[in-house]
């Protein structure tokens, strides 16, 4: 078994998926990942496949074993092995798009709506059919998500992301807004800027082949990291987008001022002979407190 790296940080933003410049001839599938935190704590997760290299299970960072099942080659269910009744079911429409996600224990439902066969919104409804919130998506002329707005059903609290892309189709800026009610103006809270290294992120392949829906990944399993650059953490599903390229830097600014840098993340990699990263070190500098933190990621894969 060889080593491989993946980086996914845990920030609430979105990145569009784009093809990188490197043509890697050897395809490798993620087998496990280990993360060494700044405080010395170690976290790991694993991924299991069938003979067709389809993702069918594993264990998450909480050491919970899980199983995925498929119908007609598409994800149908996810369940934790230790709690058989804790199951998430994915229903699809006639076009094969995910139309509804139901969590068996809570009874919460996620209704996915489409316009011209493109995901337009996700509405969350409780077991008693009470609306919880709705996330709506807007696309630019190139088919990339340019805006995502989440509104609570009671009209209080809202969140919005605006996204801008570079010439290679990769997200290079994400602006995050909040407001207290749907009648208030949006207030810019954070700006995030991204740069990349044109090397493949092998973790992208895992989610793209199993859990993708249009520009989004929809999965019960998620190993926190910054590659999930648009992120919604619901009770039974993580909704995110993932970068196909490796991150080089992530800079986060508070408010509208580019001078108010609050987090400066930098990544350094070691690669194998096939061009896949085997290790990454994330250095995170916090100017306001003058603190520097480091995390090391080591990834293993199967060919």
Q: For residue 29, give its domain range.
A: 2-62+152-302
Q: Is residue 130 part of a domain?
A: no
Among 214, 190, 200, 236, residue whose Cα is nearest residue 86: 236
What whole-number distance in Å separates Cα of residue 227 and Cα of residue 16?
Answer: 10
Q: Looking at residue 200, what is its pLDDT?
A: 83
Q: Is residue 285 part of a domain?
A: yes
Q: Is residue 56 part of a domain?
A: yes
Q: Is residue 113 part of a domain?
A: no
**In this structure, are residues 45 and 33 in contact, taking their beta carbons and an 8 Å threshold?**
yes
What whole-number distance in Å separates Cα of residue 279 and Cα of residue 269?
Answer: 6
* Predicted structure pTM score: 0.80
Q: Is residue 208 part of a domain?
A: yes
> Please, is 72 exposed, middle or buried when counting C-beta atoms within 10 Å of its C-beta (0-12, 13-18, 19+)?
exposed
Tens of each residue's pLDDT in the chain, 303 residues: 433 333 332 222 233 344 454 444 467 888 888 889 888 889 888 999 999 889 999 998 888 899 999 998 888 998 888 887 778 889 999 999 999 988 887 777 889 999 988 899 988 888 777 778 888 999 999 998 999 998 887 767 788 989 999 999 888 898 999 998 888 999 999 999 999 999 988 777 787 777 777 667 777 665 555 555 555 555 556 677 777 889 899 999 998 777 799 999 999 999 988 888 889 999 999 999 999 999 999 988 886
Q: Is residue 95 part of a domain?
A: no
What whole-number distance in Å separates Cα of residue 145 and Cα of residue 241?
Answer: 10
Q: Is residue 230 part of a domain?
A: yes
Question: In angstroms, how far is the first alpha carbon of the chain from the final one?
Answer: 8
Q: What is the phi/psi pair of residue 205, to 5°?
A: -60, -40
Q: Is residue 134 part of a domain?
A: no
Identify the H or E element spanning 209.
helix 202-211
Quote the number of domains for the chain.
1
């Amino acid at each position: 078994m060889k080593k491989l790296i993946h980086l996914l940080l845990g920030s609430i933003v979105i990145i569009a998926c784009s093809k990188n410049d490197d043509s890697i001839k050897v395809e490798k599938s993620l087998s496990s990942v280990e993360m060494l935190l700044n405080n010395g704590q170690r976290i790991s997760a694993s991924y299991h496949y069938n003979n067709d290299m389809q993702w069918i299970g594993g264990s998450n960072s909480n050491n919970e074993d899980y199983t995925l099942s498929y119908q007609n080659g598409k994800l149908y269910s996810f369940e934790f092995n230790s709690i058989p009744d804790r199951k998430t079911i994915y229903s699809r429409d006639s076009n094969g798009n995910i139309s509804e996600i139901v969590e068996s224990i809570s009874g919460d439902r996620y209704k996915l709506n489409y316009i011209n066969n493109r995901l337009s919104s996700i509405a969350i409804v409780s077991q008693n059919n009470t609306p919880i919130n709705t996330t709506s998506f807007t696309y630019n002329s190139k088919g990339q998500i340019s805006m995502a707005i989440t509104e609570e059903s009671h009209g209080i609290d809202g969140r919005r992301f605006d996204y801008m892309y570079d010439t290679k189709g990769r997200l290079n800026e994400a602006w995050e807004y909040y407001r207290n009610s749907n009648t208030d103006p949006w207030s810019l809270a954070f700006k995030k800027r991204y740069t990349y290294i044109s090397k493949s992120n092998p973790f992208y392949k895992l989610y793209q082949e199993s859990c993708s829906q249009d520009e989004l990944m929809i999965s019960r399993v998620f190993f926190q990291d910054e590659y999930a650059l648009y992120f919604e953490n619901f009770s039974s599903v993580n909704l995110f987008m993932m970068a196909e390229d490796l991150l080089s830097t992530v800079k986060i600014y508070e408010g509208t001022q580019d001078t108010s840098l609050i987090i400066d993340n930098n990544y350094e990699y070691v690669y194998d002979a096939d061009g896949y990263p085997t290790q990454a070190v994330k250095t995170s500098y916090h100017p306001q407190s003058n603190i520097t933190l480091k995390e090391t990621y080591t990834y293993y894969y199967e060919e």
